[in-house]
Amino acid sequence: MHSPKVSIVGGSGYVAGELLRLILLHPHFSIKQVVSESLAGKPVFRAHPHLRRFTDLRFSWLSELEECDLLFLALPHGEAMRRIDRFREIAPRIIDLSADFRLKDPVDYERWYGMIHPHPELLSQFTYGIPELHREEMKNASLISSAGCNATAVILALYPLFREGLVDCERTVIEVKVGSSEGGRRGSPASHHPERSSSVRAYKPTAHRHIAEMVQELGFGKKIELHFSATSVEMVRGVQATAHIFLEDDLDERAILKLFRSYYGNEPFIRIVRERSGIHRYPDPKILYGSNYCDIGFVRDGRSNRLVVISALDNLMKGGAGQAVQSANIMFGFDEKAGLEFPGLHPV
C-alpha cells in the first residue's frame, strides 16, 4: 500500500496539533494539508509552537482543500454535519472528532444538542470511535465518529461490567475531573487565569452531553440511568473518572480483576492498575500526558455492594487525537500501535 495522504480540517485547535504531531511521526501516513480559515497562509507552528522547525507546512484555506486518502475533521460541533457532503467528495475515508455523528438516534440530537440533525441518514453509517468496542467494524469502515474524551474514560471503565449485566442499572454515579484543554483553544471567562487558577469548579453537575454516548454504548438494550457530573480542576491535560456502581452479585476483587483482564488483557492501550501500595496505586492522568493509554483501577467497598472504578487518560490523546489515529490504523490495516507507543512522562 502507498503511504496514505492525510489532511486535517480545523487545524488550529489543541487536538489538531496532537493529530499533526502524530502524523508527522507516523511510519505510514503522510500529511498533505492542514486547514485553518483563521490562520491560512501562516506556518503551522504559529498555532502549534512545539512543531517549530519540525515541519515547514503552512495552513491552507478550506477552498484549497484537495483530494486525499483520509480526512480528519477537528471542527467545532455543528460544522462537520453542515459540510459533510463536501468532505465526502474530498476523501473516501473520514474520521470526525466532533460530536456530530456519534449518536445513532437522531432524536438524541434534539434532546442533547437542541437541534435537528441535517443528515440523519448518515448516523448509522458512522462507526462509533472506541477501538476496543468496535474494532471489527472499523476494519471495513469509511466513516468513523471518534468518541468524546469523558465518554471514553467512562465507557472503557464500565464496559465489562455493563456488558456482563453485573450492575444495578439505575444507581451508577460518575464524577470526572478534567483539565483546561478540554474546553478547547478559544478563551472565555472560565479559562481566564485569575478565575481558573486554584479553582475546583463544578461546571456540569447534570445533563452533560457525553451522557448520551455513555448510555448508547453501555445500555445493551436495557434502560440505564447514569448520574454524571463534571468538574474542572487545575491541570491542563487529563481526565480522571470515578464511577460508583452497585453490583447485582457479590463479586470479590479477584473475580472483578479476572473480568477486566478477560476483556482488556490483550488490549494494547488499556492498562489495569493493581498496586497494593504507593502513590500510583490508582489511575492518575498526570503520568499519561502525551500517551494513548487508558488506565483503569477499582476498589471493592467491603461494607456494601459498591464498586468504585477509576479510569484516567489524556483527553487530547486517548480522548482525542491518539484514539483517532488508533482508529485510522485499524481502518487502513496497519499495526494498531503504529505511531502511538509513547509511554508518557514522569515526572512532569
Contacts of 193 (CB under 8 A, 6+ apart): none
Quick one: pLDDT at residue 1?
Answer: 59
> What stretches of the chain adopt beta strand conformation (E)?
5-9, 30-35, 59-60, 70-73, 93-96, 127-129, 143-146, 172-178, 201-204, 226-232, 239-246, 270-272, 294-300, 306-313
Q: How far apart are CA 134 and CA 248, in angstroms?
A: 27
pLDDT tens, 129-172? 999 999 999 999 999 999 999 999 999 999 999 999 999 999 99
Sheet holding 172-178, edge to edge: 201-204, 226-232, 172-178, 239-246, 306-313, 294-300, 270-272
pLDDT tens, 8-48? 999 999 999 999 999 999 999 999 999 999 999 999 999 99
Query: Which CATH superfamily groups domain 150-313?
Result: Dihydrodipicolinate Reductase; domain 2 (3.30.360.10)
Q: Tell me the chain's radius of gyration from C-alpha atoms.
A: 20
Q: Which three cell numbers stand for residue 180?
A: 483546561
Domain with CATH 3.40.50.720 in the chain: 5-146+320-332
Quick one: pLDDT at residue 308?
Answer: 98
CA-nearest of 16, 5, 3 to 59 is 16
Top-tier CATH class for 5-146+320-332: alpha beta
Quick one: pLDDT at residue 272?
Answer: 98
- Predicted model pTM: 0.97
Q: How far apart are CA 228 and CA 243, in angstroms?
A: 9
**Of 68, 149, 169, 294, which residue is the catalytic one?**
149
Place of cell 492518575: 284
| Angle in degrees, CA 272, 276, 282, rounded to 5 | 50
Domain with CATH 3.30.360.10 in the chain: 150-313
Catalytic site includes residue 68: no
* Count of Cβ atoms closer than 10 Å to residue 106 Cβ: 16
The answer to whether 80 and 71 are in contact (CB under 8 A) is no
* Mean pLDDT in order along the chain per 10 residues (348 residues): 92 97 98 97 97 97 98 96 97 98 96 95 98 98 98 98 96 96 85 87 92 97 95 96 96 96 98 94 97 98 96 98 98 98 94
> How do 143-146 and 70-73 pair as beta strands?
unpaired
Question: What are the backbone dihedrals phi and psi of residue 28, each rounded to the nearest 5 degrees, phi first?
Answer: -120, -45
- If you ran DSSP here, which 8-state letter would residue 208 be given? -
Helix (H, G, I), strand (E, B) or coil at 211: helix
CA-nearest of 203, 213, 290, 282 to 241 is 282
